[in-house]
Amino acid sequence: MAPSGSRSSSSCANVEVEEAVEYVQNVKDTLRLMNDEGTFQKFLKIMDGFKKGQLDITDVIVRVKSIFSHYPHLILGFRRFLPESTQFLISVAAAPAA
């Protein structure tokens, strides 16, 4: 039997991966519904650039905020995956009341 600490750590990692997959699926579905699949491709390119070390976290934040400027809920969802020290860089204005 694995020590509880390692099981807990593994469970947390699995939850984070599941949440990330759900978020990316939400991005894809939202942009598809809005007939804006080009923005999804831009998002994937940004994430790939970060993974390859071509972009730092500040570059990623600036670019994601730019491409999701019409989708504040996607920006707020993205914030969940940022280090606490950079979360202040993500803010969105409240949507106007309908």
Report domain extents, the chain. Answer: 4-87
Total length of the chain: 98
Residues 6+ apart with CB under 8 A from 73: 30
**pLDDT value at position 7?**
44
What Rg value do the Cα atoms of the chain yield, rounded? 16
Residues in the chain, pLDDT under 50: 1-7, 94-98
Alpha carbons within 13 A on the beta-carbon side of 40: 15
Given a contact cutoff of 8 angstroms between Cβ atoms, the answer to whether 87 and 62 are in contact is no
What pLDDT score was predicted for residue 92? Answer: 57
- Class of the CATH domain delimited by 4-87: mainly alpha
CA distance 53 to 9: 26
Question: pLDDT digits over 6-21, tens only?
Answer: 445 566 667 689 999 9
Is the model's pTM score more than 0.85? no
* Cα 17 to Cα 20: distance, rounded to the nearest angstrom: 5
Neighbours of 68 (CB within 10 A): 22
